[in-house]
Structure 1
Amino acid sequence: MEQKENKNVLNIDIPADVMDGVYSNMTVVSHSQEEFVIDFVRLVPGSNKARVKSRVVMSPVNAKRTLAALQENLMKYEAQYGSIKLPERKQAGTIIAPFKAEA
């Protein structure tokens, strides 16, 4: 029997220096017509200084797909571990309500 190659499989290589990840306890999102910029920030408690640890720039389509993937995984997380309680916000910002991802 002939084996068919699965063309939908994507092998992703993670370099050793990226494997450990970057800790972030705050994100800052900005955008233009062409791209979204997500800064992953580390804010040290008790300090008024924060440092961008990583910056990701992506297309609007990829940003929407990323948001959909995060929403799906948050729903799975809460189904398994319970609802995530957000502390009262002290700074300006908006929490995006669930949306219908069509990207």
Structure 2
Amino acid sequence: MDSGERERHFNLHTTPEVMAGVYANFATVSHSDYEFTLTFSRVDHEVDEDEVPGVVVTRVSMSPQAMRELMDAMDDNWSKWRTTEGIKGLPEIKDRPDFS
């Protein structure tokens, strides 16, 4: 951050219903010249038919700049999650000194 830039903090509010979120197991992304749209759906993957039933649970449209920032944040979080998942399977070190 430049010395002339100030640090900004977001103070976002929500309702309990929005905070609870929605479940989606399928997503699509589309775009126009001006925005990207993410459509999140819940579909029934267990159906063995050509047409899979589902319901859209939410849609989010954003500017290309916001989409780039979202992709960067998702990439960062995916990397952190993969690292955490990777170390879960490592054996604990025996004879490790106990500093408690």
Q: TM-score, normalised by structure 2?
A: 0.72
Residue 11 of structure 1 aligns to a residue whose secondary structure is coil
Deviations 1:31-66 (A, max 9, x none): 001000000010123231121100000001100100
User: Does 1:29 find its partner at 2:29?
Assistant: yes
Query: What is the identity, as a one-letter code, of the residue corresponding to 1:32?
Result: S
User: Does 1:64 find its partner at 2:68?
Assistant: yes
Q: Matches of residues 61-100 of structure 1 in structure 2 within 5 Å? A: 61-82=65-86
Query: Which 4+ residue blocks in structure 1 deviate beyond 3 angstroms?
Result: none
Separation in structure 1 between the aligned mates of residue 70 and residue 37 of structure 2, nearest angstrom:
12
Query: What is the identity, as a one-letter code, of the residue corresponding to 1:12?
Result: L
Greater radius of gyration (CA): 2
Corresponding residue for 1:12? 12
Identity over aligned residues, as a percent?
32
Separation in structure 1 between the aligned mates of residue 84 and residue 76 of structure 2, nearest angstrom:
13
If each structure's helix is expressed as a fraction of its own residues, which one has the higher value? 2
Separation in structure 2 between the aligned mates of residue 76 and residue 43 of structure 1, nearest angstrom:
28
Separation in structure 2 between the aligned mates of residue 32 and residue 39 of structure 1, nearest angstrom:
14
Separation in structure 1 between the aligned mates of residue 7 and residue 82 of structure 2, nearest angstrom:
32
Separation in structure 2 between the aligned mates of residue 77 and residue 7 of structure 1, nearest angstrom:
27
Residue 18 of structure 1 aligns to a residue whose secondary structure is helix
- When the two chains are superposed, the root-mean-square deviation of aligned CA atoms in Å is 1.7
Gaps of 5+ in 1: 1-5, 83-103
